Structure 1
């Protein structure tokens, strides 16, 4: 049967954005959560917890669906170039390469990971600012696309390409002004308009530099400027956002083509930023901005005048309001995003007399490529409750937000299922917390069946940005990743050991002569 989580109560939809028809690797069978054809409770027992699990089936399904959706709207070739930073497991990269996908990479390490597979170098986009001379030289040697971010990067690329007697293929990452994008950005708990969030973000070349930079690149003998690139990330889960962004990008592209004396792009890269199907971004504590900041603090401070008993009674009523939750409605489908993005872009380019015939359209999905292909399994360690000064409960698990750091930075509220009680009704509300010494709040006010130590919790939509951002706080070894395909399961990234955590540490030889727990190295140095 299909999967629906306990607190999956969607908000109303706007913009006439209908629901998706998204195939799902997850299902519930006889009260158990399955991924592909495998029982997640058995996976937890076999491989241990915490554990990241990826579905190869879903990953292949996603890349094929993106390619088909955008190819249906664009008259030229389409390249799907998933963001490697979203999931750096080499097995998942092998799957994408096997599907003919390119890659969006940011760092030298990411580039090496992608190039360890037989990927088409011409479909690899090297993004990011501050690229070193050595890094750029390596990019030119490998024949990958260099996405220019910095105003001085053109001269540096020309120099390293000339040294190799090669032509560097580049694109300019543009940063259009978007005053039409006035709704609040999902990247912040503060109510900030998207256009302001885009302007203060570090990436992209400001419009004032683009004309001169393009002219220099076109004139450079060892540079072939093949296209334009734009990427603004997951600011808003709507078709409105993509229509607004593509309209401004298309207008800017037309202005640049005219300024560059008829130069025509061979490639147009519109980046990524589409939500994953159970989009968790910025869904944790959505009401806290009002209640806990400018107006909320005076209110809470004023309640103290009621005395401790009435104050705590008021808090007992307020806390459920803060921790209760309704998820946003299911985002539009990949096909809807493709139709809106491509049709808007084509309209603006045609109005500016920019030919799109034969031009390659490139997309760089990250969270929407990997997100629903992955889950994170954790085991309940203990359940703690209090009744005074107001009722509250915690479910302590054997994972941590430090293994889900991408979600912590983005204030994600992950959908969650008790994997061995997937068909049980809601019986308790508690914070799902991790076992580091931090507050380690994974999901506030989770609605759960009655759980006990040993139960397995599945956090959904964790295939993107979670494992790749995990850290070792409290000297906790990072979990393994298992890839499943049908009824097969394989470890594709082994769990760390405590020895791995300390493997990079070096102790200076001078410290080895300090003997005893109470030795005073300063005194010993003075005596010597």
Structure 2
């Protein structure tokens, strides 16, 4: 969101007040230009190797976002049958979709394989079933757990020894026994360390583990290092140095390929990195309550729309788009859900009045996709702003939507 010379916030030249007037409040807004910029940033960082981006669409499954990803040459990583079907509706072919399950019923895996997807096998039982079912007639990747702890907090670390994800690298002998037993066609190794990783070192550490493990598999085509790049939540926040990371990973990957004997493809599966900064949750102040202990700003939204602050303790920067130059005051910004529902505590904001539009930044990832109808509240509309044009890409829910499946 840009601050113009007229001291007004805009998204591709469109003021938040215009969007709220046209589409209502609260409102999710995505900036297509930001998504394009983030994709190009990743492509540039790894321009020296044969790299493919597989968007981890659990971050944001709006069909308009998926179609934009397909348009700019990004393929898809899904974790459920529903996400797979959304990918197909967005125009992806089955072989452009990777299915990365976590302990799902084997029937889900079978449906994905038979629809043309490539599966990341995440357990010995699934590997055994895959061999019994397909032998060497279908390719797959194996998801390795490298036993490395890295990420923003324990809830978003996915490669440490106690994590449920993947097959421990310490079980390599069992993995190889199953592969040999069924003559499995293993075309790639996959891992995903976690989310919000700032430094290059954890990426390099898991890459080295995966490269060493790869030497046990003679027919690989792919090394998949997952995602987890750090994005900026606060002004001046440290982020992953993509240029540095790209140079270091690319150098090690080239050396590995030389040792392996041929060039492989390097995959990444970013989700938040590609869409987080593109998204804004626009809300309206409903009540400003001055209390002896705190000043409270109540808004027309809650943890049912953006659960990350309450679930993860996540920080989302907030802008008072109606009064950018106002005198700063301390506020608790709270939602309308009948629970402790706090977005921010003792947050400095330009003075807030009833009716002001507050914008939550970094709302493009794990915002709408983790939303709910708690308190029988409706989920908001979604708008995509691209090429300076705002389009409604999901309408606001109604009571009929909440009752549709009830008997």
Q: Do the structures match in fold with TM over 0.5? A: yes
Whether the 8 Å CA contact 2:309–2:342 is kept in 1: the answer is no
Whether the 8 Å CA contact 2:257–2:263 is kept in 1: the answer is no
In the other structure, the counterpart of 2:385 is 484
Unaligned runs of 5+ in 2: none
In the other structure, the counterpart of 2:213 is 252
Give the CA deviation at 1:425: 4.6
Q: CA offsets per residue over residues 424-443 of structure 1, 9 Å max, x none?
A: 15421011111111111011
Asked if residue 211 in structure 1 is aligned to residue 119 in structure 2, the reply is no
- Aligned partner of residue 161 in structure 2, secondary structure: helix
Asked if residue 47 in structure 1 is aligned to residue 23 in structure 2, the reply is yes
Decide whether aligned partners of structure 1 residues 128 and 456 sit closer, same or farther in structure 2, where only a CA change above 3 A counts: same
Asked if residue 94 in structure 1 is aligned to residue 67 in structure 2, the reply is yes
**Paired residue for 1:228, among 157, 168, 189?**
189
Larger CA deviation: 241-250 vs 52-61: 241-250
In the other structure, the counterpart of 1:405 is 307
- Residues of 1 paired with 2:14 and 2:122: CA distance? 44
- Residues of 2 paired with 1:161 and 1:418: CA distance? 57
Unaligned runs of 5+ in 1: 1-24, 281-326, 507-528
Decide whether aligned partners of structure 1 residues 384 and 188 sit closer, same or farther in structure 2, where only a CA change above 3 A counts: farther
Decide whether aligned partners of structure 1 residues 29 and 82 sit closer, same or farther in structure 2, where only a CA change above 3 A counts: farther
Larger CA deviation: 139-148 vs 87-96: 139-148
Q: CA offsets per residue over residues 221-267 of structure 1, 9 Å max, x none?
A: 5x4210100101115322233233323333333xxx2x45xx14201
Give the CA deviation at 1:219: 5.3
Written as runs of structure 1 = structure 2, the 5 A alignment for 1:146-185 is: 146-161=119-134, 167-178=137-148, 185=151
Q: CA offsets per residue over residues 405-436 of structure 1, 9 Å max, x none?
A: 244322111011111222x1542101111111
- Residues of 2 paired with 1:252 and 1:225: CA distance? 13
Give the CA deviation at 1:346: 4.3
In the other structure, the counterpart of 2:153 is 187
Written as runs of structure 1 = structure 2, the 5 A alignment for 1:271-290 is: 271-276=226-231, 278-279=232-233
Give the CA deviation at 1:218: 5.2
TM-score (norm. length: structure 2)? 0.92
Q: Which structure has more RCO (C-alpha within 8 Å, separation ≥ 6)?
A: 1
In the other structure, the counterpart of 2:42 is 66
Asked if residue 354 in structure 1 is aligned to residue 228 in structure 2, the reply is no
Give the CA deviation at 1:143: 1.7
TM-score (norm. length: structure 1)? 0.72
- Aligned partner of residue 153 in structure 1, secondary structure: helix
Whether the 8 Å CA contact 2:151–2:194 is kept in 1: the answer is no
Whether the 8 Å CA contact 1:144–1:169 is kept in 2: the answer is no
Larger CA deviation: 337-346 vs 58-67: 337-346
Whether the 8 Å CA contact 1:84–1:103 is kept in 2: the answer is yes
Asked if residue 441 in structure 1 is aligned to residue 396 in structure 2, the reply is no
Q: CA offsets per residue over residues 378-418 of structure 1, 9 Å max, x none?
A: 0000111122xxx3111000011221124432211101111
Give the CA deviation at 1:104: 1.0
**Paired residue for 1:339, among 241, 247, 261?**
247
- Residues of 2 paired with 1:215 and 1:420: CA distance? 64
- Residues of 1 paired with 2:358 and 2:244: CA distance? 33
**Paired residue for 2:9, among 6, 22, 33?**
33
- Residues of 2 paired with 1:249 and 1:235: CA distance? 20
Give the CA deviation at 1:185: 4.7
Give the CA deviation at 1:29: 4.5
- Aligned partner of residue 402 in structure 1, secondary structure: coil
- Residues of 2 paired with 1:431 and 1:384: CA distance? 10
